[in-house]
Structure 1
Amino acid sequence: MSLLRGAACALALCLAPFTARAQVSDDVVRVGVLTDLSGPYADFAGPGSVVAARMAAEDHNGGRALGKPIEVVGGDHQNKPDVGAALARRWVDTDRVDMVIDMPNSAVALAVQQVGRERNRIIINTSAATTELTGRQCSPVGFHWVLDSYALTTGITRAVMGQGGRSWYYLTVDYEGGYAQERGSEAVVNAEGGRVMGRARHPLNTADFSSFLLRAQASRAQIVALAKAGTDTVNAIKQAGEFGLTRSGQRLVGFFVNITDIKALGLQTAQGVVSVDAWYWDQNEESRAFARRFAERHQGRMPTQYQAGVYSGVRHWLKAIEAAGTDEAMAVAAKMRELPVDDVFAHGGRVRADGRHVHDVHLVEVKKPEDSSAPWDLYRILSTIPADQAFRPLNEGGCPLVRQ
């Protein structure tokens, strides 16, 4: 018996160096930023997300995790699920990427999350909106970091109603994404005793919103809600400004509005628009310092909530690697759910069993031109929506990982 014990001890000592080296696969910790580098989401994610990931890598122990160098690569999914999934597989199988992050486009995000499940790789979705990522299609190695369609509709509707917005009119793009936004908001309006004054449906990529806006004005609803995204949102806000909708007393609520949209529109046009933002660069000195560093690297642009979310997601993942003592996905995923999220993006954030990162978000209003003191001084924060009100309750998503 003593001989066997001696042999076992000798074997353990011989294997110890190999075990230590195996803590980080391939002796490099690699991050893949899969984003939209040239399409409709490039402004609020895109190249800025790659910049944010590189900043996160550099800020973690001088660019090393468990003593190994951290590398960041970027790629364009072209808003095509098959392209995104193929690139993610190549990164994992050939380039030894350990984690993939960003994915603005819900269809791409769902496809890449499936790759992560198959290949045992961490996937952190920061820019996609679908709640399916933490619902029926949740993954043990999948995470959703910034906002989702629940927070973008339900959370903002409840907050606006709390400020007196009782009657609503919906201007909705005529496809499932728009319907989902409208349904989520309307459910809150009805539950809170509000009133829906009407709705207008318009085709995707509508250039002329005049007839729809006239109907919204005629409804006399306190709130005109834009259930849409991208170019449709920008065009609707622009033409609502020309109609003087907000100046006549109605409030314009955008369910999917980004600071880059407001910057492009200008305050004269966008003033008064209400939206929800998970993170704003000018909310405190810590966020302002981070934003200045980011702007130096990204053509003077302030970071969006999604780019700040990429920074946070990478930082949290790297901390989890240190805590787990390995970059193996399941071990790291367990630590990501265990550790609090504490960084420039969120203090007191936490990751639930379904992979949803829950954190406070802000109800914001676009400033009037005379109230702005700098080119990117665009929002005033109206209120903070607590994490437990901003996101869907854990037991309502249908995630198989959640014990009912």
Structure 2
Amino acid sequence: MTQPAPDKRRRQLIGAGIAAASSPLWFNIARAQNSAPIKIGFPTPLTGAFSAEAQDQKRAAELAVKEFNESGGFNGRMAELLVRDDKLNPGEAATRTLELIEKDKVDFVVGSLSAATQLSINAVCKERKILFNSISQSDAINEAKDWSLYTFHEALNPHITAGAVARYAFPKFGKKVVYLTADYAYGHEMVRGFQRAGAPLGVQTLADIRHPIGASDYSAFLPRIQALKPDVLVLCNFGRDLVNSAKQATDFGLKSGTKIITPVLLYTSRLAGGADAFDGIIGGTSYYWGMEDTVPSAKQFNDKFRKAFGGAVPSDYGALGYAGVRSVLQAVRNAKSTESLAVSIALRQLKYDWYKGEQFYRKCDHQSVQSVIIVESKSKNMKDKNDVFNVLAIEKPNEQLLRTCDELGHKVTT
């Protein structure tokens, strides 16, 4: 059989390609690829001791996705949030994350509400080169041994949070300190942050008393704390643990001779525990809705949240869910890509103000550099049920207050 001449053969191939490209099947495949949703996996403990905070994370993350989609998405592609319950368990968190990546084919992962679960989520994402933006406090996730080019940390970390509260509280309330500590990474790292910040102030640790996560009864610890006569009691715990320990310390009468502080004074915990239990307790937070009187982006964020959720105001950890997702989606637009490496590079360069003032990610470890708000719980002169804190001070974003890149194990070249 005679073969066609080369030029004729080339014309035949080009013609066949044009015909294939214009066929309904080819068109449908291309259209499906161009309109496929941008999937964001969102593992968080919807059940368990931190469920109230997790539910608010979910709501705020949904708001970020809604805004992105209503503004046109990316090249016509809409975002989709795939929420999974990690049950506050590192093994469960790893399993759900693996399913999100392998089965659901998510493009990115944002989430977590525990120092332990975020490390297991990060390990899965790191191995598969999927970008992960953590919205829970941790020091370890920024350290070189756990970090990767795909690891970002939108939340504050214990070093900076505890340090800010220590710098405010210890000079005012005294130098003899007892810690009541949840016995896992969050509690341990918070104690370390307080002790490091307290050392140059001459602060003395009288005891570090540890309790299991999810404890309901603190009565065995309270007589020992009272006997030590500390100037300051630091509740280094979170969620339901913070509520229970604050209530029982108040009922036991510890406030009569001791100032109670906590590294993270949660809005949700304050609502759950009530005004009397938390009255006078001081702590740090990444966000308080009452900042709207002085921070324009806080007012904008609050108003959008109120409109979406029946007049409710966002919590501190809810705001992190919003910022964590919004930052990733903005980086998609900036990178003009949904590939994790390209988005990672764009996220490293992002400077943003979504809800609390200016923020940026430090280059060496992808820690979000941001303010820490010092608040005090109040029981009087509240304008409404949400008006639970007085803002005492705001420690401005300062990269110099973070642990150094060298200490974290990152080799920085200039």
TM-score calculated relative to the size of structure 2 = 0.83
Q: In structure 1, how many angstroms separate the alpha carbons of the residues matched to 2:141 and 2:374?
A: 24
Tell whether 2:211 aligns with 1:196. Answer: no
- Give distance in 2, aligned partners of 1:124 and 1:208: 34
Distance 1:252 1:390, change over 3 A: farther
- In the alignment, residue 323 of structure 2 is paired with which amino acid? S
Structure 1 counterpart of 2:287: 279
Question: Does structure 1 residue 386 correspond to structure 2 residue 410?
Answer: no
CA deviations 1:108-127 (Å, max 9, x no partner) are 21122122222221101102
Deviations 1:250-292 (A, max 9, x none): 2101134311111111111211111110111111154244334
Task: Confirm whether residue 334 of structure 1 aligns to residue 342 of structure 2.
Answer: no
Aligned residue pairs: how many?
386
1:221 aligns with 2:230: yes
Query: Contact 1:36–1:104 (CA<8 Å) still a contact in 2?
Result: yes
Tell me, yes or no, if the aligned pair for 1:36 and 1:78 is still in contact at 8 Å: yes
Equivalent-residue separation in structure 1 for 2:261 and 2:85 (angstroms): 31
1:101 to 100, 110, 114: 110
Q: In structure 2, what is the Cα distance between the partners aligned to 1:278 and 1:252?
A: 19
Whether the 8 Å contact between 1:155 and 1:390 is mirrored in structure 2 is no
Q: How does 1:2-401 map to 2 (within 5 A)?
A: 27-46=36-55, 48-60=56-68, 62-127=71-136, 129-135=137-143, 136-163=145-172, 165-173=174-182, 177-202=186-211, 205-210=214-219, 212-246=221-255, 248-285=256-293, 286=296, 287-298=298-309, 301-367=312-378, 369-388=379-398, 391-399=402-410
Shift of the alpha carbon at 1:195?
A: 2.8
Distance 2:283 2:360 in 1: 21
Q: Please say which structure displays the higher CA radius of gyration.
A: 2
Structure 1 240/119 Cα, relative in aligned 2: closer, same or farther at 3 Å? same
Q: 1:386 to 1:197 in 2, by over 3 A?
A: same
State the shift of 1:67 in Å: 2.7
Task: Tell me the SS of whatever aligns to 2:51.
Answer: coil
CA contact (8 A) 1:168 1:224 kept: yes
SS in 1 for 2:384: coil
Offset, 1:243 = 3.2
| Cα distance in 1 for residues equivalent to 2:234 and 2:403 | 20
Determine the C-alpha separation between the residues in 1 that align with 2:162 and 2:169.
Answer: 11
Q: Letter of the aligned partner of 2:405 in structure 1?
A: L
How far apart are the structure 2 equivalents of 1:204 and 1:341?
A: 35
For the residue of structure 2 that corresponds to 1:30, the secondary structure is strand
- SS of match in other structure, 2:78: strand
Task: Quote the offset at 1:362 in angstroms.
Answer: 0.8
Secondary structure of the 2:66 match is: helix
Q: Is the 8 A contact 2:63 2:308 kept in 1?
A: no
**1:295 positional shift:** 4.3
Q: How big is the shift at 1:204?
A: 5.2
- Structure 1 distance, partners of 2:132, 2:191, is 29
Pair 1:81–1:348, CA change in 2 (3 A): closer
CA displacement at 1:340 relative to structure 2: 0.6
Q: How well do the aligned residues superpose, as a CA RMSD in angstroms?
A: 3.1
Cα distance, 1:360 vs structure 2: 0.8
Question: How far apart are 1:180 and its partner, in Å?
Answer: 3.8
Q: Kindly, what percent of the aligned residue pairs are identical?
A: 26
C-alpha change, 1:174 and 1:64, in structure 2 (3 Å) is closer
Alignment CA distance shift 1:381-1:165 (3 Å): farther
Consecutive unaligned residues of structure 2, counting only runs of 5 or more, are 1-13, 19-25
> How far does residue 370 in structure 1 lie from its aligned partner after superposition?
1.6
Deviations 1:190-213 (A, max 9, x none): 232223344544555554434533
Q: 1:343 to 1:168 in 2, by over 3 A?
A: same
**Distance in 2 separating the partners of 1:296 and 1:275:** 29
Q: Which amino acid aligns with 2:283?
A: S
Q: 1:168–1:222: 8 Å Cα contact kept in structure 2? A: yes
C-alpha change, 1:371 and 1:217, in structure 2 (3 Å) is farther
Q: Aligned pair in 2 of structure 1 residues 372, 391: CA closer, same or farther (>3 Å)?
A: farther
Please list the CA deviations of residues 217-270 of structure 1 after superposition, one character each: whole Å capped at 9, or x if unmatched. 444432111133344322221022223433x25210113431111111111121
Which letter does structure 2 place at the counterpart of 1:188?
A: A
Deviates more, 1:114-123 or 1:266-275: 114-123
| Distance in 2, Cα, partners of 1:322 & 1:214 | 56
Does the CA contact (< 8 Å) of 1:44 and 1:260 recur in 2?
A: yes
Structure 2 CA distance for partners of 1:348 and 1:78, relative to 1, 3 Å: closer
The one-character-per-residue Cα deviations of 1:170-202 (angstroms, maximum 9, x if unpaired) are: 233456654443333223222322233445445
